[in-house]
Structure 1
Amino acid sequence: MIVINSPATFGLTALLFFVAVFGRYVLFSLAFWWLFKVSLKDQFAHRAVQTRPRKAGQDWREIGWSAITSLIFTGIAVAVILAYQNGYTAIYTDINSYPLLWYPASIIIVLFIHETYYYWLHRWMHRPGVYRWVHKTHHDSITTSPWTAFSFHPIESTLQAIIIPALTFVLPLHITAVGLILMIMTLSSAINHLNTEVYPHDFNRHWLGRWLIGATHHSLHHTQFRFNYGLYFTFWDKWMQTESPDFHRLFGEKTSKRITNDE
């Protein structure tokens, strides 16, 4: 891990982390946009969840908000590094410091806690007195795209960003596990905001797929507002009965075999 011991290394670290955070967002968003909106556009056109045209300039607005989000994520990441250097976090670098089984278990625990935190935070952000000031920026993207993934108001970005760093102070996490969790977060967000359902037919009823959020599930949140508050998984929506009653029907429609003129 980088050692911050001078203003120069502090500035360099901040710059490198911003490039890594914003670059990861751009890389995933651009890859999904190009793959499903350009390269495989014809094959996946019928899987577009929301057909309403996006607003003029929406891509650039989302990229702008995402750059601000990346700055906030960078500031918190640098603070965690400083805390680590001073022995305040539970991050470890020697894989043998804990049983190897702890490595995957720690990732699962963090994802569960993150999902729980986000679900209830998300419901709170939809309260009338909160929504306008915190969450409306994200919902300006009614028809989402991979660029929507990090498009948040700075208050929401901060609230979203604090949970995983907070866990590093109380939960032993290998440094690579932290990186893997952040990659999962970015990948999941890009898929969920793609507005193109990439999962196969009946995956919503598969033993694994029924618990994973995809483009159809999250697009319904952007259009209906009152349902589908989850981040990675559907279990809180199922337990709290906040899953959209239209989800399974719409998923089936979007993933059914396309009928062509040749058939």
Structure 2
Amino acid sequence: MEGTVALGNAFGALSSGGAIVAGLAFFAAIYGLFCGGNWLSTRYLLPAVGLGRRIDPRPLRPGQMRGEIASSLVSVAIFGLGSLLPWWFLQQGWARLAQDPGPLRVLAEAAVLLVWNDIHFYVNHRLLHTRPLRRYHQQHHRSLVTTPFATYSFHPLEAALLGNVILLPMLLHDFSFAALLSLPVLSLLLNNLGHSNYDYAPGVGPDHWLAASRRHHLHHACYHGNYGFLFNFMDRWCGTRLPDDAARAQLEAFAARASRHP
């Protein structure tokens, strides 16, 4: 853990411009790595070896992926600029980094942050579906059939809302830098899987965390419901869990049209 402690201290020692550049480079790198890798895996590698299946067979709209990547680059810029806020918290002494965290502490903190991320995502996602804010969420929902590149395809306001997830925890607890760093990495990785339009484990039940891509497919197909992230406890508690066959009529209608016009 000494390496991540030194990395955290180095981040705190950066200038404000250096913190922004570091944030931009970090978010651009993980976006390109995860989205590009997931696209190749779900379009070529996994189907070739017979693992998993595509969920929604409908075609993408013209120019969809180019639009997703363009708006995602704006979100990357916002997240990079947003790196200035945790840096500022450290400069002002409002937050501190744990200097001697053991591996169990790092794992426990990462788990707590992952659960917090689900709660934070659900609350903000529900707000983005309310009448005053839904117009800002339409950009993301232009991806009716999702791709991994849709993960960061946000209006700038949505990017700002979702990108502030780390701030409150930093004010409440002295986290290890490794745990703080794990949050955007795991958040993008798991959100990317959820937008992949690919069922990685067809054999697991609909409430399993590996079925998150099925649940989020339903959200994009139906618009309302399934507002959660990786887990679905918030949707269950708040009564917003969609039936597992909620998009059946849409997919059957597409199949019928395709059979008439092969």
| TM-score, normalised relative to structure 2 | 0.82
Moved over 6 A (4+): none
Q: What is the correspondence of 1:32-51 to structure 2 with a 5 Å cutoff?
A: 32-43=38-49, 47-51=53-57
Q: Residue 200 of structure 2 is aligned with which of 198, 201, 204? A: 198
Shift of 1:43: 4.9
**Contact kept? 2:148, 2:196, Cα under 8 Å:** yes
- Tell me, in whole angstroms, the C-alpha distance in 1 between the residues paired with 2:51 and 2:211: 20
Decide whether aligned partners of structure 1 residues 218 and 70 sit closer, same or farther in structure 2, where only a CA change above 3 A counts: same
In structure 2, the residue matched to 1:260 is: none
Residue type of the alignment partner of 1:233:
F
In structure 1, the residue matched to 2:123 is: 120
In structure 2, the residue matched to 1:240 is: 238
Q: What is the correspondence of 1:142-161 to structure 2 with a 5 Å cutoff?
A: 142-161=144-163
Structure 2 unaligned segments of length 5 or more: list them: 1-8, 249-262
- Tell me, in whole angstroms, the C-alpha distance in 1 between the residues paired with 2:245 and 2:183: 27
In structure 2, the residue matched to 1:174 is: 176
**Contact kept? 1:199, 1:214, Cα under 8 Å:** no
Shift of 1:211: 4.6
What do you get for the CA RMSD once the two structures are aligned?
2.4
**Contact kept? 2:47, 2:53, Cα under 8 Å:** no
Residue type of the alignment partner of 1:204:
G
Q: Residue 96 of structure 2 is aligned with which of 76, 90, 94? A: 90
Residue type of the alignment partner of 1:109:
V
**Contact kept? 2:64, 2:143, Cα under 8 Å:** yes
Residue-pair matches, total: 240
**Contact kept? 2:222, 2:247, Cα under 8 Å:** no
Shift of 1:120: 2.1
Shift of 1:192: 0.1
Report the secondary structure of 1:40's partner residue: helix
- Tell me, in whole angstroms, the C-alpha distance in 1 between the residues paired with 2:228 and 2:11: 36
State the identity as a percent.
Answer: 25
Shift of 1:161: 0.8
| TM-score, normalised relative to structure 1 | 0.82
Residue type of the alignment partner of 2:109:
S
Structure 1 unaligned segments of length 5 or more: list them: 251-263
